[in-house]
Structures are given as C-alpha cells and as structure tokens.
C-alpha cells in the first residue's frame, strides 16, 4: 500500500470510530424506548431488550391521561413547528438582506459596522437575558410566542457572516451586467443573488430550524401557559410530573421529538454540505 492509501485508511478508521461514539447515545435512547420499564435501569445495562415494546411510542402520548393528567405532545409539536417556521422565514429574509449590504454594496462605515456585528457573537445570552426580558415585558409579549420568533427577523451575526461569505463568491460581473441592463439593486438581489445563494440559504434555514426546535431556555423564560409550551418544555414537564419518570416512555417521546430534525437533515444534507463548503467555513 502507498503512503496515500495508508493515510486514507487511517482517516476513515478514525472517522468511523468517532461516528460510533456519536451514535451510541442515539442508539441507547432508541433501545431504551423499546424496553420494558424493568429493564431500563438494569446493571450492567442491557444493550438489546428481551422484549421489543413498540407500543411505548403510542403510550408516550397517552401515559397518565387519567391518573397524572394528559400531556398534549401534539399541541406542543404544533407550537414548536409554528415558532420554528416563523423563525426560519425571518432568519432567511433578514440575514440575506443584511449580508447583501455588507458583501455587495459600498457605503461609509461598512467594515466597522460588520466588525461590531461579529463582536456581538462574543456576548453570551445570559448577559443580556434580563434586559431583553424586561424589554419584552414592557411590550406585553411575555406569555406569547413573539419573543421566540420576532428576534429572528432582525438578523443574526453568525448567519450574516455565513451569507456574506457566500455572496462574495458570486462574480461581481453578473451584478454589473444587470445594472447596465437597467436593473435596480433590489432586482439584482432578488433575481440574481438569491437564486444563486440557495445552498447558503438552506444552511441558514437548517441551523435556525434546529436551534428553534431544540430551544429550551427561551420557552422556559417567556412561556407561562402549558397550552403554549414547546416540545422541549413538554419533555421536561413529562419527566418531572409527580416526581416519577417512566424512562422507556420518556425515551420514546424524545425519539419522536428529534425524528423531524434527523429526517430534515437527511433530505437537505446535500445542500447543507454544499453551502458550508462554498462559504469558506470548512477551514
């Protein structure tokens, strides 16, 4: 074998081992969801259930409906999907416009403002959590979905950076030719830049959807009524209700909750990888 073949084999071996490390928690969650309750806490752990309890997935949505109170996961799923959809729409629209201004237009203070925008990524959310909460409280938004999706319509530093990197790879000759033909800047952005930026926009949409779908801290802070809870809060409520946890049913509910994200990634992985590759983030 040549040195290149040995190096390739070594890289693939390392990637395979790392993939196994990341797959183990997912495997354990799914297997626990299919176990009888008495096998969930066995020591040493049982990696394959003695009986496959497929009905756990149905029980996860109806368990405790009489004794402990029904936990409406379907309502939680509707709330989460609504918030995620509005957040994705806002992220794609707002970040694309801002990134285009930073990447393709020349105006005084552009580079300084872009640097300030990137600097906001160094500010952790707990630092601004109280002022933001106070702002939303003054606006009367506490207890509604608005604090969870409206900020997505005002841009995100990381998404702006990602789209700006992509926009800079598009030849400027295309824009110049369109200007000669009489196109306005908005028409150039809408008819030329956006169609070419679909891979990068898909990455922004996927990142935003995953962040919104899995968000726990935001709903915990802003939502008060159980009927407005998201899936992440629903799982926590499921676990803590009356102090007892049916771990097999909890893992079944968790599997159903993360399934849409996994399916979405498999359907968009080509656009996701292409968008990451062309924006320069791979380095």
Q: Give per-residue pLDDT as tens, 52-107.
A: 888 888 777 765 444 444 567 788 889 999 999 999 999 999 999 999 999 988 89
Specify the pLDDT at position 65: 45
> Among 62, 65, 60, which Cα is nearest to 259's?
60
Could you tell me the two tokens for 104? Answer: 């393709």
Burial label for 84, CB within 10 Å (0-12, 13-18, 19+), is: buried
> Among 237, 276, 231, which Cα is nearest to 256's?
231
| CA-derived radius of gyration, the chain | 23
Higher pLDDT residue, 92 or 3? 92
Specify the pLDDT at position 221: 92
pLDDT beyond 70 at 120: yes
> Among 190, 196, 116, 213, which Cα is nearest to 157's?
116
Mean pLDDT of 272-277: 66
Specify the pLDDT at position 151: 94
219, 68 contact by CB (below 8 A)? no
pLDDT-derived band at 117, boundaries 50, 70, 90: very high
Burial label for 258, CB within 10 Å (0-12, 13-18, 19+), is: middle
pTM: 0.82
Instruction: Return the minimum-mean-pLDDT range out of 134-143, 183-192, 200-209, 254-263.
Output: 254-263
Specify the pLDDT at position 282: 44
Mean pLDDT of 173-181: 88
Specify the pLDDT at position 63: 55
Q: Which residue has 């109170």 as its token pair?
A: 69
Could you tell me the two tokens for 193? Answer: 């830049």
List pLDDT tens digits, range 188-245. 999 999 998 888 898 899 889 989 998 999 999 999 888 889 988 888 777 655 455 6
57, 33 contact by CB (below 8 A)? yes
264, 90 contact by CB (below 8 A)? no
Higher pLDDT residue, 2 or 242? 2
Specify the pLDDT at position 74: 80
Question: What are the backbone angles phi and psi of residue 61, rounded to the nearest 5°?
Answer: -95, -10
Specify the pLDDT at position 112: 94
Dihedral sign, Cα of residue 31, residue 32, residue 37, residue 41: positive
pLDDT beyond 70 at 276: no
Could you tell me the two tokens for 179? Answer: 């200007």
pLDDT beyond 90 at 139: yes
Is the link from the previous residue into 25 a cis peptide, with omega within 30 of 0? no
């Amino acid at each position: 074998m040549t040195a290149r073949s040995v190096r390739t084999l070594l890289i693939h071996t390392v990637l395979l081992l790392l993939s196994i490390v990341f797959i183990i928690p997912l495997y354990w969650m799914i297997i626990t969801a299919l176990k009888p309750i008495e096998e969930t806490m066995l020591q040493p752990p049982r990696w394959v259930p003695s009986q496959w309890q497929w009905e756990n997935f149905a029980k996860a949505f109806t368990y405790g409906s009489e004794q402990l109170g029904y936990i409406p996961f379907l309502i939680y799923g509707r709330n989460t999907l609504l918030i995620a959809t509005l957040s994705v729409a806002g992220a794609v629209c707002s970040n694309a416009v801002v990134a285009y201004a930073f990447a393709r237009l020349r105006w005084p203070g552009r580079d300084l403002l872009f640097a300030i925008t990137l600097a906001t990524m160094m500010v952790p959310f707990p630092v601004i959590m109280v002022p933001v909460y106070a702002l939303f409280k003054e606006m009367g938004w506490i207890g509604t979905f608005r604090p969870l999706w409206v900020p997505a319509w005002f841009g995100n530093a990381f998404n702006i950076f990602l789209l700006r990197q992509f926009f800079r790879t598009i030849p400027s000759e295309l824009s110049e030719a369109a200007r000669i033909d009489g196109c306005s800047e908005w028409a150039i952005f809408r008819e030329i830049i956006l169609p070419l930026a679909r891979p990068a926009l898909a990455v922004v949409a996927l990142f935003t959807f995953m962040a919104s779908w899995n968000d726990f801290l935001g709903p915990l802070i802003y939502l008060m009524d159980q009927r407005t809870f998201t899936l992440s809060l629903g799982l926590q409520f499921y676990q803590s209700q009356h102090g007892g946890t049916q771990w097999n049913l909890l893992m079944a509910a968790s599997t159903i909750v993360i399934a849409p994200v996994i399916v979405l990634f498999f359907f968009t992985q080509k656009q996701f990888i292409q968008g990451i590759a062309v924006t320069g983030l791979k380095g």
